[in-house]
Structure 1
Amino acid sequence: MFKFFIKKNFCDGWDNFFFLVLSNAITIVLLFGAYFALRAADSINPYLPFAAFILVSGILMVQLFAWGANAAKLADFRSPSFAVFFSALKSVWKIGFAFGAMIALSLLLARFAIAYYLTLYFRDGNVIGLVVTAGLGWFLLVSAISLQYFIPLYFLQENNGFKKCLKKSFIIFYDNVFFSIELFIYNLVIFVISCVTFMIIPGLNGIVLSSMNALRLRLYKYDWIEKMSEQDPDFEKNRDKRNEVPWDELLAEDMESLGPRKLTSFIFPWR
């Protein structure tokens, strides 16, 4: 399943290369704006950058959230458009800003908490400081892996508000730990490549597309479980049976839609 996900995600990005680059241009402009806003805030007051960080994080996340509407279309083999992006801005700006602000505030609180408890350990030799620091570190890591699903959950499932997206993100992580870790590593690789290309490609929008593709394919598992549970009420409680997911069967339609993409088709798309 993961191999097909990588193939599909690459094809979606390649086939919409210029659209992705233009979309990332908006993100780059916002990142530059955030940088200068933080510098300006620091010159006014040493504590103001913290508030500015929360504000710019919320604004940046609104843009990524709105682009999620196009990512959902691409994941579903449909065409993206800037009309979809600007239309989505009107409906997602509240949840997008709240999500970005929550992440920024959490990072700031974690930063000060970790600094405090590490000082407590190295200065006073208090082991509790080290234990709490380790606990916070693991919590941040699990949260980072889980929240990959937040934006996709909003677009791939109806009636998912802020709380539902947050709750379901952790549920999906705990039910698909190894897959979630693989996706996280994959997204980290995309982020490193994006840094090398100055966020031009794949960029942050490429990471949103990656998470969207991953969750869309993974949700087939739950459709299958629901179908099997209708036939056997005890099926969902049997973890051994639940883990025997027939991915070849579930992905057959998507594989057919994507088609056999050879290397030459990427270099010479007209062939």
Structure 2
Amino acid sequence: MTGFFIKKAFFDGWDNLFSLAGLNLGYLAIFFLFAFLPLSAGVDNLLLFAATGVGILAFSLWHSLTSLSMAEVADYRTLGFKEVFARFPMAAIPGLAVGALNLLLWFAIVIAIPFYLMQKSFIGLFLASLLFWVCLVALIAEQYFLPLMARRRKGVISNAKASLTLFLDNIGFSFVLFFHTIFTLVISILLAFLAPGFSGVALSGQVAVKLLLKKYLWLESDGTKDRKRVPWKELLEEDQEMVGKRTLKGMI
């Protein structure tokens, strides 16, 4: 399943490259307004702190809108920008929820963990380590939240619990997705984050959840099935036909 996930995420992004670039302009605009301008203007620390907080919320809202839109791409449908903005009412609450979590993570990483490390004591080191692992788990589980909001159409709390469940039930793949995200952002530097960028990250999350949910639909169809022997070849057959036997050489 992992190999097909990487293949599908790549070719879905390639087939919708201009859509990815257009949505990435939104991320770049947010970075320009809430990071580049305040730093260039030399604002004081308090204003910079406030601008960063507002920027994180704006980023999270835009990422929510992008992720919900990328569900269409992962389902082999054409994405239009008119349809993207039509999803804003549906994306607002999940985006604010993600924004609140991202603010907490930012506070923990930038302020709380360094504070505990500065104590130079066993308790301080223990609390810093504990907080680090809590943040890491939250970051990895968060990858599933917005895709689940797009596909399950349930509430924030229900999908937050489902995100943690997906992480705990698929720890190996969750780390694959996490490092895939890091790799995606690193190679995005070469194209100034226009592609694949954060919209590519959103697309990868949608592809991952789309494929993972097939396992749970299969398990729900018969409670006696062995969850350790998932017939991925059978479950992914339709998607493999949709993606086709494509290669990098064939693209060129």
Q: CA deviation at 1:198?
A: 1.6
Letter aligned with residue 170 of structure 1: L
Rounded Cα–Cα distance in structure 2 between residues aligned with 1:41 and 1:262? 47
Tell me by how many angstroms 1:37 deviates. 5.3
Letter in 2 for 1:64: H
* Distance across 2 between alignment mates of 1:145 and 1:99: 13
Aligned to 2:129: 134
Note the 1:1-271 alignment, pairs <5 A. 1-36=1-36, 38-39=38-39, 43=43, 45-121=44-120, 126-159=121-154, 161-229=155-223, 232=224, 235=225, 241-267=226-252
- 2-structure distance, mates of 1:52, 1:115: 21
C-alpha distance in structure 1 between counterparts of 2:54 and 2:230, whole Å: 43
CA deviations 1:60-82 (Å, max 9, x no partner) are 11111111232101111111110
Aligned residues of 2:34 and 2:54 also touching (Cα < 8 A): no
Give, in whole Å, the separation in 2 of the partners of 1:111 and 1:27. 22
C-alpha separation in 2, matches of 1:21 and 1:46: 32
5+ residue gaps, structure 2, are: none
8 Å CA contact 2:64, 2:146 repeated in 1 = yes
Equivalent pairs: percent with the same residue?
35
Q: Unaligned stretches of 5+ in structure 1? A: 236-240
**Matches of 2:218 and 2:183 in 1, distance apart?**
31
TM-score of the two chains, using structure 1 as the length reference: 0.87
RMSD: 1.8
State the distance in 2 between where 1:171 and 1:196 align: 35
Q: Assess, with a 3 A threshold, how the Cα gap between structure 1 residues 110 and 10 changes in structure 2: closer, same or farther.
A: closer
Aligned-partner SS, 1:20: helix
Query: Within 2, Cα distance between the matches of 1:256 and 1:21?
Result: 27
Normalising by structure 2, we get a TM-score of 0.93
Alpha-carbon distance between aligned partners in 1 of 2:248 and 2:112, rounded to the nearest angstrom? 49
How many residues align? The count is 252
Report which stretch shifted further, 209-218 or 134-143.
134-143
8 Å contact from structure 1 (residues 55, 101) kept in 2: no
